[in-house]
Structure 1
Amino acid sequence: MNKPVTNQGLEDLLAEAAYDRSHAAFARQVNAAGARDHGLILRYDGASVYWWLRGRRPEQPGPELIATVLSARLHRQVNVAELGFAGRDGERDGLLFPATVPEAVETASALWRRFGRRGRPATVAPFVTAAAIETGWRWHFDPPDSSIARAAGRRVTGMDVEMLRGCFDQFLELDRRHGGGHARTFLADFLTRDVAPLLRGSYTDPVGRDLFAVAAELTGMAGFMSYDISEQGAAQRAFIQALRLSKASGDRTYGAHILANLATQAVFLDLPGEAVRLARAAIDGAGRRPVASVSARLLSSQATAHAVAGDLQAFRTAIGKAEHALNRADETGPSWAGYFSPAHLAGSAMRSLLDLGRPEEALTFREQVMDLAPGNARTRALHTALTATAYARAGHVDAAAHLALEALALAQRIRSERVQARITLLASTLAPHRPVPEVAAFLEQAVGP
C-alpha cells in the first residue's frame, strides 16, 4: 500500500510542471543536470521521486538540481525553499552554501528569524566539521553571480544602504563593549525587520551589490556574536551565509575575512587541520594584492592556525608577514578591517606562543596587547586574562595573580563565553598556587572555595 504524500510543496510543483505522472522522466532530468552542471553520475529514478514526496531529502546538490530542472520546465525561478524540504533536515538549515542569489536571501532570512526567537532554538544546531571546508570550496570555485539586479518590491537606494552601514557601526560598538550575548537577538530582529525586506526589494546591480555587502557584514557580525557566546553551530551557519552574501556582492576580501573567522573558530575548537586549510583558503581567496590591513588580519589567522597545529616555523613565518603588513597599513582599507590593530596582532602572537609552550616569549608582547582603544572592553578582558595565564605558566605567580583579579573584574561586565573560557583556563593554571593569598582570592571569586 502506498504511503501518503507528505511533501505537498514538491507534489504541487511536479503537477505544475506536468511531471506528476512521469516521475522517472523527471528523475532522468535531475541526473542529466547533475552530469552537466557538476560532472556527477547520479542514479535517481522514479522510486527516488516517490520517497522525496514522502519526506526524504536528497543529499546536496540534489535539491539544487531539482530546482534547476523545475525552473527550466516552468520558465520561472524555482527556489530550493519552495521544494518542501525545508525543516525536514533541521541540523543542516543554514549549513549549505546556496546555489543562487534568491536561495541565499531565503536561507539567510530563515536563519535570522531563528536567531531572533526567544528561547535560543539556534543553540541546538551542531558544529559540522566538513561543512566549513565545503563552503570555502564553493565560495572560491562557484561561478560569480552575473547580475543581482531585481525589479520587484520597493525601490532600494544608496541611502538605504548607508542607513544599514550606520546601524552596523552601532551594533559593532555594542558587541565590543558588552560582548556577543548582549545584542545578538536585537541584531537578528533588525536583520529580519529591516534588511530582509530590502533584499526582496527592487534595485540596480550596483546598489544590489552594495546592499548584499552590508547584509554580509551584518550576518558575519551575528556569526561572531554567536561564536563569542559559544554557540558554535549557530556561528558556523551565520558565517556560511555571510560568505554566500559576500559572494553575491562581489567583495572577495570580506569573503576571505569570513573564511578567516571560520579558521579562528576551528582554532577555538582545537581542529588544527581544518584551521590551517581554512586560513590558507582565506589568503588564497583574497587575491594577489589585498590592502595591508586585510592582509595582516588574514595572516594573523594563519599564524594562530599553525600554532595550534604545533608548527613553530610556519607560525613565525606567518606572524612575521602579518607584522610587516600591519606596519604598511593606512586608512585605505575597508571599514570592517579597521578594528585590527597592533594590539590584536600581539594578542594572536601571545596566544599562539602559549599554544606552542613558550610562555616567556609570549610575555614579550605583554605591553602591546594592552595598547587598546577605550571601547574594546571585551578584547581588554581577553588580553588581561591571556597575559595573566602567560605569567602563570612562566612561573611568575604574583604578577599572574594580580592580573587575574583585574581580568575577573573586567569579565563580570561582559556577556562573553570566550572571556569566561579564558578565566576558567587561568583558574586551572593558577589552582596549584592556591596558598598564595592573591591567588586564593581570585580562585574564590572565579570558581568558589
Structure 2
Amino acid sequence: MQEADFSHKSLARAVVAAATRSGEDITCDHTYVTRWLKGSIPRGNMPQFIADAIGRRLGRQLTIDDIGMGNAAVSAVQPDLGLDFADKPESTARTVTDLWRADLADAETLVRALPDSAAWNAASLRWIVAPPDGELTRSGNQAVGAVDVDMVRSTTDAFSMLDGKFGGGHARRALIQYLHTDVRPMLDGKYSDDVGRQLHSAVAEALLLAGWMSYDSGLHGIGQRYLIQALRMTQAAGDRLLGGSILSAMSHQATFLGRYQDAATLARAAYTGPGLALGPTMAAQFRAMEARALARLGDERGCDLALVEAELNPGYSAELGDLTPR
C-alpha cells in the first residue's frame, strides 16, 4: 500500500474496480482495509482482487502470496480446482500456484479427493481440438532465460532420479515446495515467446512427475489435477509429444483405479493427438497402454489389435509390451 501510495479509502475503491473487471459486484470500504491490516483474511476472491488492485497501480503482477494472504487460498479452495483445461495459459499458471499451495497445506478437499472421469475426458478432448495459444511473451519483473529453464529441467531430473530409486512418497513434498517457491515466480516473470514455450514445457514435465509421485503415494485426486494442468502446459508450449506422454500417464492411472473405458480412451488420445510428432517408440507405448486397458475390459479382439499395432511399430520392445503396473 505504501509503495502504491494507497490510502485506506482509495484502496477500497480500487478493489471494487478490480472485482468489477472480473465480473463480480462486491462491497468494500476503508473499514475492510483496516481489518485486513490487522490480520483479517477475507474470503472468496477478495484476496485476488486486492492483489490485482495494488499490482495495477504498481504496474506489475502480484500474487496473493505477495500481499501476505496466501493462506486464504487454502481456506477458500474449491473442490473442482485443477480439473479444468483452462482457456488461457495465464489461468493455468494461477491454477497450479493454488494447487501447489493447497497441497503443501494438506488441503483435505484436494489431497484426498477421488479422480473425476469427466475431467479426464474433457481435458483430452480440449487438448486435441483446441487451437494453438498465442505468443507467450510476458513482461513481469523477474527476467527468465534459457539458463533458468535448464535449471528447472535439471532439478526435475534430480527429483525423477529420487522417485525411481526410493518411490514417489520420498521426495514428493520437496518437489511441490520447489515448484511453489522457485518456479512460480518464473511463470509470472519476463521472457520471450521462445523462452516462454520452453518454460511451459519444462513445468509440464515437472507437473507430470508430480502427478506420478502423487499417484504412487495413493493421492489420486491431486495427482489427476497435476496431470491435467501438465497437459494444458503442453498446449501452451506446443509440445504435442509430451502431451501424449501425459495422456498415457492418465491412462495408466485410470487402469489402476478400475476406470478401464476411460483408460482406453485416454490411450487413444495419446496416440492420436501428437500427429506427425509421434515417433515409433512412443507410438508403441501408447498402443500397449491401450491394450492394457482393453485387456481389463475383456475385449480380447481389441487388445490383440492394439498389441499387433504396437508390435508392427519399429519402436516396440519387450518393456513396452509389458502390461504390468508401473
Give the alignment's TM-score, normalised by structure 1: 0.56
Corresponding residue for 2:123? 135
Structure with max Cα Rg: 1
Cα deviations by residue, 1:361-416 (Å, 9 ceiling, x for unpaired) = xxxxxxxxxxxxxxxxxxxxx6xxxxxxxxxxxxxxxxxxxxxxxxxxxxxxxxxx
Q: In the superposition, relative to structure 1, how do residues 289 and 208 fare at CA in structure 2: closer, same or farther (>3 Å)?
A: closer
Structure 1 residues 303 and 292 mapped into 2: Cα distance closer, same or farther (>3 Å)?
same
3-state DSSP of counterpart to 1:126: coil
Give RMSD over aligned pairs: 3.2
User: Is the 8 Å Cα contact of residues 74 and 101 (structure 2) preserved in structure 1?
Assistant: no
- Secondary structure of the residue aligned to 2:79 is helix
For residue 113 of structure 2, what is the amino acid of its counterpart? A
Match of 1:13 in 2: 18
| 1:107 Cα deviation from its structure 2 partner | 0.4
- Report the equivalent of 1:314: 302
Question: Paired residue for 1:181?
Answer: 169
Verify: 1:260 aligned to 2:248, yes or no.
Answer: yes
Q: Tell whether the 8 Å contact from 1:87 to 1:93 is kept in structure 2 after alignment.
A: no
Report the secondary structure of 2:241's partner residue: helix
2:218 alignment partner, SS class: coil
Query: Is structure 2 residue 91 aligned with structure 1 residue 103?
Result: yes
What pairs with 1:436-447 in structure 2 (closer than 5 Å)? none
Question: d(CA) in 1 for partners of 2:179 and 2:315?
Answer: 35
What letter matches 2:127 in structure 1?
Answer: W
The yes-or-no answer on 1:347 pairing with 2:322 is: yes
Percent of matched pairs sharing the same residue = 34
1:219 and 1:238 in contact (8 A); partners too = yes
Counterpart secondary structure, 1:90: coil
Q: 1:10 Cα deviation (Å)?
A: 8.9
Contact 1:260 1:282 (C-alpha < 8 Å) held by counterparts: yes
**Partner Cα distance (1:313, 1:251) in 2:** 33
Say if 1:222 and 1:120 are closer, same or farther in 2 by CA, change over 3 A.
Answer: farther
- Matched with 1:151 is 139
CA–CA separation in structure 1 for the residues paired with 2:253 and 2:167: 16
Question: In the TM superposition, what is the alpha-carbon distance from 1:312 to its structure 2 partner?
Answer: 1.3
Shift of 1:151: 1.4
Q: Where does residue 171 of structure 1 map in the other structure?
A: 159
- For residues 246 and 118 of structure 1, do their structure 2 counterparts lie closer, same or farther at Cα, with a shift above 3 Å needed? same
1:250 matched to which residue of 2?
238
Q: CA deviation at 1:117?
A: 3.3
Letter in 1 for 2:305: T
Give the Å deviation of 1:17. Answer: 8.3
Aligned residues: 277
| 1:293 and 2:277 aligned | no
- Partner of 1:270, secondary structure, is coil
Q: Confirm or deny: 8 A CA contact 1:86 1:93 kept in the other structure.
A: no
Q: Are 1:224 and 2:212 an aligned pair?
A: yes
Which residue is 1:214 aligned to? Answer: 202
SS of the aligned residue for 2:176 comes to helix
Deviations 1:347-372, CA, capped at 9 Å, x for gaps: 21xx4xxxxxxxxxxxxxxxxxxxxx
- Assess if the C-alpha contact under 8 Å between 2:149 and 2:202 holds in 1: yes
